[in-house]
Amino acid sequence: MPAQKTCSYCGERLATDSEHVFPRNLYPASKSVSRVQRLTIPSCNECNKGWSDDEVHFRNVLALAGEPNEARRELWETTIRRSFEKSDGSRRVRDLIKILRPVEIDGNIRHKVYP
């Protein structure tokens, strides 16, 4: 009989979930069949659910950072935009606005992320 695993985060409770090391919400739907970077670790339900708000904020910040690409555009036009329409969407937008700072680059104003 295999030994029961404990949660990788708290180390105390029984691991009942398989938590993605790189959150699934970082991948657009077009990449859903990709197996690249889909590492998982054992976690308890409480810890697994406890990270979800942080993961969404992390995804939104990453989507704002750097130069646009197709995967980022797809996330922004689908998952991220829909998340702003939920009950906590206005808070998520405010959280992003708080960390954006206007910066002049090559004579143009761009916004940089300063968490």
Question: Does 34 score more than 80 pLDDT?
Answer: no
* Residue 79 within any structural domain of the chain: yes
Q: Given pLDDT bands bounded at 50, 70 and 90, which one contains residue 1?
A: very low
The one-letter code for the residue type at 106 is D
With respect to residue 9, please indicate whether it lies within any of the assigned structural domains: no
**Which pLDDT score is estimated for 110?**
85
- The reported pLDDT for the residue numbered 37 is 60
Amino acid letter, 6: T
Cβ–Cβ < 8 Å for 25, 56: yes
Res 6: pLDDT: 92
Does residue 56 fall inside a structural domain?
yes
Tell me whether residue 5 is in a domain: no
Strand 100-105 relative to strand 108-113: parallel, antiparallel, unpaired? antiparallel
The values of phi and psi at residue 107, to 5°, are 80, 0
The band of 36, judged by pLDDT with boundaries at 50, 70 and 90, is low
pLDDT in tens, 38-78: 778 899 989 888 777 888 888 888 888 767 788 888 988 99
CA dihedral (23, 27, 29, 30) positive or negative: negative
For 69-74, which contacts have Cβ atoms below 8 Å and span 24 or more sequence positions? 71/27, 71/28, 71/30, 71/31, 74/28, 74/29, 74/30
Is residue 10 included in any domain, yes or no?
no
* Structural domain count, the chain: 1
Residue 32 has pLDDT above 90, yes or no: no
pTM: 0.67
Domain containing 89 equals 17-113
